[in-house]
Structure 1
Amino acid sequence: MTTPEPAPRYSERLTPSLWVFLATALVVPASLLVFLPISILAGCLVAVGLYGAIVAVLVATTPTVAVAGDTLRAGRARLPLRFVADVRVATGADAVRERGVGLHADAWLLIRGWIPGLVRVELADPDDPTPYWIISSRHPEELAAAIRG
């Protein structure tokens, strides 16, 4: 019998923003443009089907970030909190730099472009070549506090 996972101190789904769904809706007129000359029914069915598939993939692949017990979970990855050396929050220009020119090639990333804030988790594991994790978050201060506390 397995022990139940403790209740999370912090949990967040990195769902796509409304503008992502609106931008992907451009597949509707594009597919209508291609398929309407063949058949109005085919054009409408393909347009609705493609958009439905895109929405389903976006929702199904939405990762969760959670801190529960002594573990940070980011998507499928798990990090025992004993290996956390430091936690930093980045927003605005700092977040852009962290995701761009300031990014270490060996860093582990869970980045979603539609989420502006992020948390940088420095690692203290001598056996791990990964220097830090970068995790997108809509509430980076709360995530950082949960990791620290």
Structure 2
Amino acid sequence: MDPATHQPDQARPAGYHERLRTPRWWYLAAVGVAVLLGLEFAVAISGWVAWAPFALLLPGALLTVWRLSSGSVSVDGATLRAGERSVAVTEIEQAIDLSPTELRRLVGRHSDPLAFTYIRSWVGPGVQLVLRPPADPPQLGRQAPGEPADARQAPGEPADPPQDDPLPAERLPEPYWVVSTRHPDQLLAALQAAQAAGSRSR
């Protein structure tokens, strides 16, 4: 059989998917907290009604911990997804492995307010994804071409200094992403494979 027939399958990048689950002992801690709170009610209430708080607190505590584990990070084809956000791998200029200390520093006092962060404190390490700057970055405080001057200004009167008109936050480009992952090396490898596959398909 011609080996060339298998070349597309070999060039296909392997996907990556990670569920950012909470530690298992969190479920035991949630049960303990629910039991302690239920006992507080049981001391003050007599009869079968004393068991009602347990019926509400135990499922609620377990559901809260399970909901915290619903976050995920994945590389599917040419797209990286972090939670409900996504970015094309071709828009990622550089990917940097972050230790837990470096991640905390990057999202703390040294963080950029425009950066997108998808972190989970119980995960630890992560990656920084530096995005490519837009080809036509937005300009702040400039008059659009052909925009008429203020009609209230009298002829010959000196023009008022331009006023900065800040753009809404959703229109400003994000400089980078910070994403939690327990396996930074695997995520970086999946990104490199996806970028290499995209460059070969052009």
Same-fold call, TM cutoff 0.5: yes
| Identity %, equivalent residues | 28
Contact 1:12–1:65 (8 Å) recurs in 2: yes
TM-score, with structure 1 as normaliser: 0.82
SS at match of 2:52: helix
Q: Tell me how many residue pairs correspond in the alignment.
A: 144
Q: Structure 1 stretch 65-74 or stretch 26-35: which is displaced more? A: 26-35
Counterpart position of 1:22: 28
Superposed CA offset, 1:74-114 (max 9, x none): 11111111110110111132122123222211111111111
Q: Structure 1 stretch 69-78 or stretch 89-98: which is displaced more? A: 89-98
Which amino acid letter does the alignment assign opposite residue 13 of structure 1?
R
Q: Distance in 2 between matches of 1:8 and 1:49?
A: 43
Aligned residue among 175, 180, 183 for 1:131: 175
Greater strand fraction, Structure 1 or Structure 2? 1
Query: Where does structure 2 lack aligned partners over 5 or more consecutive residues?
Result: 1-11, 138-171, 194-202
Q: Distance in 1 between matches of 2:13 and 2:55?
A: 39
Which amino acid letter does the alignment assign opposite residue 76 of structure 2?
A
Does 2:57 align with 1:50? yes
Query: Where does structure 1 lack aligned partners over 5 or more consecutive residues?
Result: 1-5
Q: Distance in 2 between matches of 1:131 and 1:20?
A: 34
Give the superposed CA RMSD. 2.3
Higher relative contact order (CA 8 A, sep 6+): 2
Max radius of gyration: which structure? 2
Counterpart position of 1:3: none
TM-score, with structure 2 as normaliser: 0.63
